[in-house]
Homo-oligomer: A and B are copies of this chain.
Amino acid sequence: MIVLGVAAAATVTRGQPSNWYPSRWGAADQRGAANRITPAKVLEAKNLITQGAVYQLGRTYETAMPMFGTRHYSLRIPQTFGPMGSNQTTYHDEIVSAEIGQVGTQFDGLGHIGIGDVFYNGNDRNEFSKAEGLTKLGVENVGAIATRGVLVDVAAYKGVAQLAGGYEITLADLEGTLERQSMEVRAGDVVLVHTGWGSHWLTDNAKFVANAPGIGLAAAQYLVEREVVMVGSDTWATEVVPNPNPELQFPVHQLLLPRNGIYIFENLATEDLARDRAYEFAFFFAPLKLKGATGSPGNPIAIR
């Protein structure tokens, strides 16, 4: 059923309604599942804070990090400015050039992924994708995500330190893990999938990017039906790569982002949460309001 849905994507006709748009949040909506963040959801998150223990979920951005394709990340410290004044103020800044929303720990916005020319809410890239920034679906529209977070430690469920590259996390895996953790996924949640793959970050970059374990279409559909806001993981794709169906390229991205307005957060540092069995927590993140950008770098916070 899912597979049929995705296959049908190939025949999308520009500007025509379809089975997946207009969005349930209205034809003008640009925020997708971020609309599920309500005051009640914020209060639900608040009540998960009992210890005051804070986790940073962002990895360090550095030149040596693994990157997809020909993307780059360059940081340089220019010559020191100053000294100025009798108080001898000196200062530094930094020059960064990068595909900033799509390297390292990265939040995928609704302008990132399309099905042919069609993106979230039926927006045609020929109309909104402009050189100076996306004129619709830019990441500045998302807003703050303060909600309940759930870690799904599939590696622990499978009894391994790392899932294998190309391993598809099935619906059974997802349900089994949740059951093991005595946890449920609720509407408005952020779900983070721990695969252990992050242990290859910087230690074996070639291996890290060659493929990845991750959720397949069935597990993703489960999360769609639970009405989550975002799915994240400690891999560069969150979804399994390559997909078991060799004809499909990143179909989970399409299912989540354009079809359902659900965000993806990649290359998260989930290992501390897993180590501490911190399966439920308050999650806080707001994308950088990079006008017209497709994504955002980030260092989201989990607190319990």
Using CB atoms and an 8 Å cutoff, list the residues of chain A in contact with chain B: 6-7, 9-10, 37-43, 46, 49, 51-56, 58-63, 70-72, 74-102, 105, 111-117, 125, 129-134, 140, 143-144, 146, 247-251, 253-254, 284, 286-295, 297-301, 303
Q: Is the CB of B113 within 8 A of A90?
A: yes
Q: Taking CB as reference atom, which chain B residue is nearest A11? A: B88
Q: Taking CB as reference atom, which chain B residue is nearest A53? A: B39
Alpha-carbon separation in the docked complex, A297 to B139 (Å): 15
**A–B Cβ pairs within 8 angstroms, 28 of them:** A7-B86, A37-B54, A41-B52, A46-B49, A54-B146, A56-B286, A58-B289, A60-B140, A74-B97, A75-B290, A77-B294, A79-B131, A80-B129, A85-B250, A88-B115, A89-B249, A89-B251, A92-B125, A93-B99, A93-B131, A95-B98, A96-B98, A97-B97, A144-B301, A286-B299, A288-B298, A288-B299, A289-B299
Determine which residue in A6, A41, A70, A134 has the highest number of CB atoms from chain B within 10 A of its CB, and name it. A70
Residues of chain B within 8 A (CB-CB) of A254 are 87, 89
Alpha-carbon separation in the docked complex, A83 to B63 (Å): 22
Alpha-carbon separation in the docked complex, A62 to B135 (Å): 12
Q: Is the CB of B10 within 8 A of A80?
A: no
Give A97 Cβ to nearest chain B Cβ, in Å. 4
Q: Taking CB as reference atom, which chain B residue is nearest A113? A: B91
Q: Taking CB as reference atom, which chain B residue is nearest A98? A: B96
Residues of chain B within 8 A (CB-CB) of A253 are 89, 91
Q: Is the CB of B115 within 8 A of A87?
A: yes
Alpha-carbon separation in the docked complex, A159 to B197 (Å): 51
Q: Is the CB of A59 within 8 A of B97?
A: no
Q: Is the CB of A9 within 8 A of B293?
A: no
Alpha-carbon separation in the docked complex, A95 to B287 (Å): 16
Q: Taking CB as reference atom, which chain B residue is nearest A290? A: B61
Q: Is the CB of B250 within 8 A of A88?
A: no
Q: Is the CB of B94 within 8 A of A42?
A: no
Q: Taking CB as reference atom, which chain B residue is nearest A243? A: B85
Alpha-carbon separation in the docked complex, A173 to B38 (Å): 37
Determine which residue in A9, A77, A85 has the highest number of CB atoms from chain B within 10 A of its CB, and name it. A77
Give A41 Cβ to nearest chain B Cβ, in Å. 7
Q: Which of B54, B94, B129, B298 contacts A92 (CB 8 A)?
A: B129
Residues of chain B within 8 A (CB-CB) of A84 are 249-250
Residues of chain B within 8 A (CB-CB) of A86 are 7, 10, 247-248
Q: Which of B9, B80, B94, B301 contacts A87 (CB 8 A)?
A: B9
Alpha-carbon separation in the docked complex, A39 to B60 (Å): 24
Alpha-carbon separation in the docked complex, A68 to B290 (Å): 18
